[in-house]
Copies of this chain bind each other. A is one copy, B any other.
Amino acid sequence: MYCKCGKKAIVFRRYSGEKLCERCFNKSMIERVKKVIRKYSLIEKNDRVGVAVSGGKDSLVLLNILKKLSEKYPFDLIAVTIDEGIKGYRDKTIEIVKKNCKLLGIESKVYSFKKELGHSMDEIAKRDRKLSACSYCGVFRRYLLNKKTRELGCNKIAIGHNLDDEVQTILMNFLRGDLSRFGRTGSYYIYSNERFVPRIKPLREIPEKENVVYALSNNIEVGFSRCLYAGEAYRNNIREFLNKMELEQPTTKYSLLRSYDKIYPLIAKNLAKKVKYCEKCGEPTIGDICKTCEFLEKL
């Protein structure tokens, strides 16, 4: 198996038929991220981008690629990590984030649930709860990410969601009948106001596997441990199904994303709700009180 440049190929993209050597693969990854950024104007001149870095492969590949792009284009980067307080998991990945940031020369900020909100996930998980641990975690994480990047002067939050994450989420919300979530998986974010930092997903069209190859090929040290509380049976079924369909029809994931992208502008406009400010904390919300304040009261 040879790359069109003549070197030995290390990657075969079934969905496009391309065979790529290491060099051409790396080049193609950068090009594809650039293309998505350009297509949706995700990053513009003089933007200050907060990159949500968990320490997993996706967020670190994102950080590395954005760093490369920021050397040629005028925008700033800062790494933002949320420490949920999960011993044996997040403490390890935070070390990995710090090493990577040092290596890349990017400022790294870490904000913890415990310090900012008063409860670590380890504490929340031990409680008698009506909701799953993941429900609290997701709400608190997004809340802090938005608040802290805004306070750091960022006008964008970059998130490492890859193609697989995206199509799983789209299908999951469609199946669940959760249309308001279904209307929020676009590559650009339609809700936005002065306290809400728009989220961008530059890796949205990169298959998960290719992020792994990129990390390996560029010697990026990444964390592979999984969250102790992750129990996503529903998402696992969907992942399994999509991988099976992709095997039979190697463009399934891209087709699904294209379907979604075509209907996104039609539904997002219609589903978009007016963003208000929380009566308790002042952060953006759709109701009168934001989910974070509501959940904190319950704890």
Contacts and interface: CB of A to CB of B under 8 A. Distances in A.
Contacts of A238: 245
A177 interface: yes
Contact of A175 (B178, B255, B263, B267): B255
Contact of A174 (B174, B178, B241): B174
A267 B263 contact: yes
Copies of this chain per assembly: 2
A267 B248 CA distance: 28
A270 interface: yes
Interface residues on A, range: 20 to 34
Contacts of A252: 175-176
A267 B269 CA distance: 12
A248 B266 CA distance: 31
Interface of A: 173-179, 182, 233-234, 237-238, 241, 244-245, 248-249, 251-252, 254-256, 258-259, 262-263, 266-267, 270
Q: Which 6 A/B pairs are nearest by Cβ-Cβ distance? A: A177-B255, A241-B241, A266-B266, A177-B258, A177-B259, A174-B259
